[in-house]
Amino acid sequence: MATILIADDAPAVLDVLYEVLSQEGHEVHTAATGGEALRRFEEVRPGLVVLDIVMPDMDGLVVLDSIRRLDTRVPVVLITGLTSETLARKVAHDPFVSFFQKGSGLDKFVGLVHERLVSFFQKGSGLDKFVGLVHERLAATPSSHP
């Protein structure tokens, strides 16, 4: 399955989301602060990020901007207990960002995560990119066969 990074300052949220996504077969990494999330992102290069918007050290949108400098297409699910049209407008230009309202149910959360992962691969960002790199390497490698 996928490598997923969850960043949230609430230990209970981290524990529950870790458990649910691990049971779905994903490799899950966690971070309790925005700074830790950025470090973990660079270490594990996840296939999806679950990011709380309100964290004590760094706003989730600042973390998202930093992630976008490293990877413009990794899917990000912003989780929040707040609803805001202003917030939605700030990320409306990014087709790889989704919102999840805390308290909406774990089944909906898991469904959204799977939807974003499938969408990511269908848009050619994952598998097509990998296959393209393999073909480039094969074309650049001289054949040892006559």
More confident residue, 142 or 15: 15
Residue 46 pLDDT level (bands cut at 50, 70, 90): very high
Mean local confidence (pLDDT), 77-84 = 80
pLDDT tens track for 81-137: 776 666 777 777 788 888 888 888 999 999 999 999 888 776 655 555 554 545 556
pLDDT tens track for 51-70: 999 898 998 999 999 999 99
Cβ-based neighbours of 33, under 8 Å, separated by 6 or more:
7, 9, 55, 56, 57, 58
pLDDT tens track for 4-16: 999 999 999 999 9
Q: Say what the pLDDT of residue 92 is.
A: 76
User: In residues, how long is the chain?
Assistant: 146
Q: Which residue has the tokens 């959204």?
A: 112
Q: Say what the pLDDT of residue 97 is.
A: 87
Asked whether the CA dihedral 41, 39, 58, 79 is positive or negative, the reply is positive
More confident residue, 144 or 34: 34
Cβ(32)–Cβ(11) under 8 Å?
yes
Q: Say what the pLDDT of residue 129 is.
A: 53
Q: Say what the pLDDT of residue 146 is.
A: 47
CATH architecture, domain 3-140: 3-Layer(aba) Sandwich (3.40)
Return the domain boundaries, the chain. 3-140
